[in-house]
Structure 1
Amino acid sequence: MEKKVRIFFTVIIIIGIVAPAFGRTNEDMDRIIIGFEPAGSKQNILDVIKKYNGEVLEEIPAINAIVVNVPSKLRIALNSDMTLNKYARYIEDDAIISIPPDEITMAPVNSIQLTPDDPLYANLWGIRMIQANYTWNVTTGNKNTIVAVIDTGADYNHEDLSAVNASLGWDFVNNDADPMDDNGHGTHVAGTVAATINNGKGVVGVAPGITIMPLKVLDSNGSGRISDIANAITYAADHGARILSMSFGSWFPSKAMEDATKYAVYTKGTLAFAAAGNDGLQLNTYPAAYNWILAVAAVGYDGNRAAYSNHGAFVDIAAPGGSNDGNQRHDILSTWPGSTYAYAAGTSMATPHASGVAALYWSYNPSLTNAQIGNALIKNADDKGAVGWDKYYGYGIIDAWPANG
């Protein structure tokens, strides 16, 4: 039985939909991930898989894991196999992530001209709340600072997304080099991070001068697997990403995702952000709840905690995510496929605000480590709620220009 997991797209409660198992058509199959120790274990595990009429679908080399299909009727026997338990570090379902039906509304046409000259800049209250517009006097970001947006891909042809470098990306859903977004969520996240500044079009992102690596792990229906996410995380770390922006999560911890994020953070030195979740509950969400990930909660237009935002001991920081109060101007406006623009609310929208601020910090001083950047973000956050850390805002609302605070 596959676990149900969710992505934080809007502020409604999102329940995953279990898709049919892949593999052989003449019997029910279970898709699982098996982690193993690097020395001498893999072949023993492969022998066991063959014994139970299983098939290897793919590998995740960076974390010593394989993805396999096994007949459902043999799953219990497989889990109990003494040889497998001797050599496997873990066995877990390759769970599915799903996005519910689109609840984003399209932005109205707006011809207001401000500085910057992006015509919808007046609608970007989140940018001003975190004072990114002050930081732009010093830096708008460095092209060498790469943010991996691990999501539904990104519309790299969008008029306002010159920061998206499709050649750096990959589509893990279809296993090809075309990370085009056929859902919308990833394009919205990408625009919040780095929509183009002063091009006379649309919006502007928090760090418009950086580079976005678009990694597609969810399909047009918003569904994808843990194995694809783990592969994308290690791919990003191995291909130069300094920051991971992950606007998805699950109630259930995954050993594969844990290993992949540890690899990215501790072995490759990336800084990883993940959404706290939209249940409005004191509820751990993964990967945000892992200690090495910066978990991002959401605040609304008034600067107070958004009612939908999850809270708890795992929350590190807060950022603008939208109010979801029925007034779309109180939500987050960003890019949408087809060179259009849309409003959305959720911790999905808060996460790229935080990722963008980290990109500005790192662009200003590329010599810093991931730990130093993370500590700077926490130290410079604008305290909110109880003095110091609290379970609703973490260390406070992220601040791109602490010198002005």
Structure 2
Amino acid sequence: MRVKAALEAYRRHPAVVYAEPDWIVERQTTPNDPSFGELWGLNNTGQSGGVPDADIDAVEAWNITTGSSDVVVAVIDTGVDYNHQDLSANMYRSARDCVINGIDDDGNGQIDDCFGIDTLNNDSNPLDDNDHGSHVAGTIGAVGNNGVGVVGVNWTVRLMACKFLNASGSGPTSDAIDCLEYV
């Protein structure tokens, strides 16, 4: 049976609320070419040839607020390096499940999910093996004003890691949906 025919059959079944293919998705690729940063038409940071101040006005926003630790953002990607010096202080922690004891201490159906989950490997270790998710997490919330590395938009956000993409940057949409259900 072809995918289209199978979908039509599932969609007609009275017990099925919604059906779609379990597509394989891949992260977008940024080239590693040394002059990519000069291509303001592709990635405008206000550099030479670009439009000055073509940015999100983060500095102006930080004059109003640098963020809040009351905000939790789920990074649904290749995982997050929760030990990274610019991310670790801002990682979400499920306090009751940070004791690694093989027990679901917080009763959410996941065992020892201190920093989040890995739906790709069906475990509770969302450590990044690609660096893309960590880069995304850093853009969102690398610790600010600490004299280390970079700064995120929210300096004190809590970052929850949910890994669904493999080391090559691909994974099924069903694993992404599992991440959304976890959140």
Q: Work out whether the TM-score is over 0.5.
A: yes
Could you tell me how far 1:79 is from its partner in structure 2?
A: 5.3
Q: Mark the runs of 5 or more structure 1 residues left unpaired by the alignment.
A: 1-71, 107-122, 237-405
* 1:221 maps to 2:168: yes
Could you tell me how far 1:127 is from its partner in structure 2?
A: 9.6
SS at match of 2:67: coil
Provide, for residues 36-67 of structure 1, a one-character-per-residue CA deviation record: whole Å limited to 9, x for no partner: xxxxxxxxxxxxxxxxxxxxxxxxxxxxxxxx
2:122 equivalent in structure 1: 175
* 1:94 maps to 2:94: no
Matches within 5 A, 1:253-268: none
CA RMSD of the aligned region, Å?
A: 3.3
SS at match of 2:175: helix
Provide, for residues 238-262 of structure 1, a one-character-per-residue CA deviation record: whole Å limited to 9, x for no partner: xxxxxxxxxxxxxxxxxxxxxxxxx
Could you tell me how far 1:105 is from its partner in structure 2?
A: 6.2
Alpha-carbon spacing, 1:214–1:201, altered in 2? closer, same or farther (3 Å): same
Q: Mark the runs of 5 or more structure 2 residues left unpaired by the alignment.
A: 35-46, 94-113
Provide, for residues 306-345 of structure 1, a one-character-per-residue CA deviation record: whole Å limited to 9, x for no partner: xxxxxxxxxxxxxxxxxxxxxxxxxxxxxxxxxxxxxxxx
- Flag the structure with higher helix content: 1
* TM-score under structure 2 length normalisation: 0.66
Q: C-alpha distance in 2, partners of 1:187/1:104?
A: 17
SS at match of 2:20: strand
Alpha-carbon spacing, 1:230–1:127, altered in 2? closer, same or farther (3 Å): farther
Percent of aligned pairs with the same amino acid? 41
* 1:164 maps to 2:94: no
Could you tell me how far 1:81 is from its partner in structure 2?
A: 7.7
* TM-score under structure 1 length normalisation: 0.32
1:129 equivalent in structure 2: 55
Alpha-carbon spacing, 1:212–1:105, altered in 2? closer, same or farther (3 Å): farther
Q: C-alpha distance in 2, partners of 1:78/1:194?
A: 40
Q: C-alpha distance in 2, partners of 1:232/1:192?
A: 20
Higher relative contact order (CA 8 A, sep 6+): 2
Alpha-carbon spacing, 1:156–1:168, altered in 2? closer, same or farther (3 Å): closer
Structure 2 residue aligned with 1:189, among 136, 141, 144? 136
1:85 equivalent in structure 2: 13
SS at match of 2:182: helix
Q: Give the paired residue count.
A: 146
Residues 182 and 219, structure 1, Cα contact 8 Å, conserved in 2: yes
Structure 2 residue aligned with 1:151, among 67, 70, 77? 77
